[in-house]
Structure 1
Amino acid sequence: MMNNLFSIFDPSSFLLIQINWISLFVIFLIIPLSMWLIPTRNSILIKNLILTLHNEFKNLLSQKMLPNMTIIPISIFFTILLNNSLGLFPFIFTASSHLTFSLTLALPLWLSFMIFGWISSTNHMLAHLVPQGTPVALMSFMVCIELVSNIIRPITLSVRLAANMIAGHLLMTLLGNMAHLPPLLLLLIIIITQCALLTLECAVAFIQSYVFAILSTLYSNETF
């Protein structure tokens, strides 16, 4: 019997070791797609998706950045998407619903952008703290606001991903716990609702991966 609803997202297992994090390494099973002599439908689909994402991120990146830098947001996208999708299967731990996972991705990205920006483009980073057209009387306040908004970016990135993933899973768990109580008609309604939620969670898994990668790319542009 669980102590609270959020204990279902506890990464520890009945063996008293945290083996559920092993799902993070499933991505290595699909990396060597180029080793196949005849491309499969899955490999063709993934390659087309990579090309689409490459064109999308290339338009967002600064002209000063190398075109091959799109590999970073594309890798982030597929890493998050895989973990989000795996969490929809029974008995598989959703790593992306934990801040341990999301903050580990967001914080190093933000730190690398900030360190690179302040070292290579100090004047640009200072000018970015005061938006164009700001009245002189409000400049000091705008600097504080911009600093705070810049500092909390890794927190907002990680919390957005974890909160969106945990919300749908928690709602499906609540409906599943009610399944043994109602009559047959209400049980049918619960099953239909859970199927609709599962479809919505599939969309959320893709959208949150895309949003995380897009925001990371936009944040990198501000350092050039």
Structure 2
Amino acid sequence: MSQSILSLKDISVFQEKNPVLTNVNLEVKNGEFIYLIGKTGSGKSSFLKTLYADLPLTMGEGTIVDYNLRDLKEQDIPYLRRKLGVVFQDFKLLPDRNVKENLLFVLRATGWTIAEEMNVKIDEVLDKVGMKNYQSKMPHQLSGGEQQRIAIARALLNNPELILADEPTGNLDPQTSAEVMDVLRKINGAGKTIIMATHDYALLLKFPSKTLKFEGGQIFEVVQRTV
């Protein structure tokens, strides 16, 4: 029996005191790949922000990677985030640093100190996303797909138990989206749990997986029809 990496019981998610989602119950097992779908404004991003503690959980019970979201202290948030990898739609790379410096910045910020260990780790994560030879490139020298691969590598630096991806293919053309999805599926195949918000229904057909739909303040599991 695969153990639970995320457990939510009767939670509600708020944006500035307005309920975005209510009475959400969800169990995510280790190694799952889950899509979040729904219209803009249906609560996908707010839901993800609650999971990485950008929005506080004030109603219901939630546990993620062994952290209790309801009782989470301010000083525990950085430790929680080290166990999570977060990938954003707009990459969020530092424009004034090359690829290696972008990754070093994250490692130093999360407590790494030994240069040799940091270099080995950077080689390892860039190899996983097929970008090992791009360490000296600046973000503006990379295509959108290459920047997103670097962003995924950055999310892997602290060997997270769970990756949260918020529209990671939202700014990419269909072919590049499929390439980025290939990278994410390989990472999932190696045992990492991934929760990914997307608007791209073509990806759901090409890479079918468990799908949760956000609608009317609720979350429903979508039953995939096989043709």
TM-score greater than 0.5 by the shorter chain? no
Q: Which has the higher helix share?
A: 1
TM-score normalised over the length of structure 1: 0.31
Larger Rg over CA atoms: 1
Q: Which has the higher strand share?
A: 2
TM-score normalised over the length of structure 2: 0.31
